Amino acid sequence: MPKPYLKEFRDDVVRVARNREPGHKLKQIAADFGISESCLAGWIKQADVEDGIQPGTTSEQSAEFDAFSPGQYPPHAACEASDGLRSAAMPTCEGDANVRARSLTPTG
């Protein structure tokens, strides 16, 4: 895995890209700083989220989520509802499959 760039470097590159003159392409700015165009585009997109220009998860929010282990997330009503639907639709063992298959088969 490549070593992450310093935040100050990313911020400087994004600032230059945002303040570029018309006709100056992101590809050239990225090349000037020794990064890929897709990397620069990702940095700009994340900076737009951080600055409130675009919706999304900020770095601070992401760090808060990372602090939880998967079992620690509070239950969400939509997840609980989908779990109930899933358990009703999916058999838990072969015997349940036969019972559910008969109950779902139209009669008459």
- In this structure, is residue 51 part of a structural domain? yes
Instruction: Judge if 86 and 45 occupy the same domain.
Output: no
pLDDT tens by residue, 68-80: 766 666 556 555 5
Instruction: Judge if 12 and 35 occupy the same domain.
Output: yes
Alpha helices, DSSP H only, in the chain? 7-18, 26-33, 37-50, 59-66, 77-89, 94-104
Q: If you search the block for the tokens 């585009």, which residue do you land on?
A: 41
Whole domain around residue 38: which residue ranges?
7-70
71 neighbors 80 (Cβ within 8 angstroms): no
Instruction: Judge if 64 and 81 occupy the same domain.
Output: no
pTM of structure: 0.59
The vertex-98 CA angle with 96 and 103, nearest 5°, equals 95
Instruction: Judge if 54 and 11 occupy the same domain.
Output: yes
Mean pLDDT to the nearest integer, 18-32:
96
The total domain count for the chain is 2
Give the closest residue to 10 by CA, choosing from 38, 37, 47: 47
Mean of per-residue pLDDT scores for the chain: 79
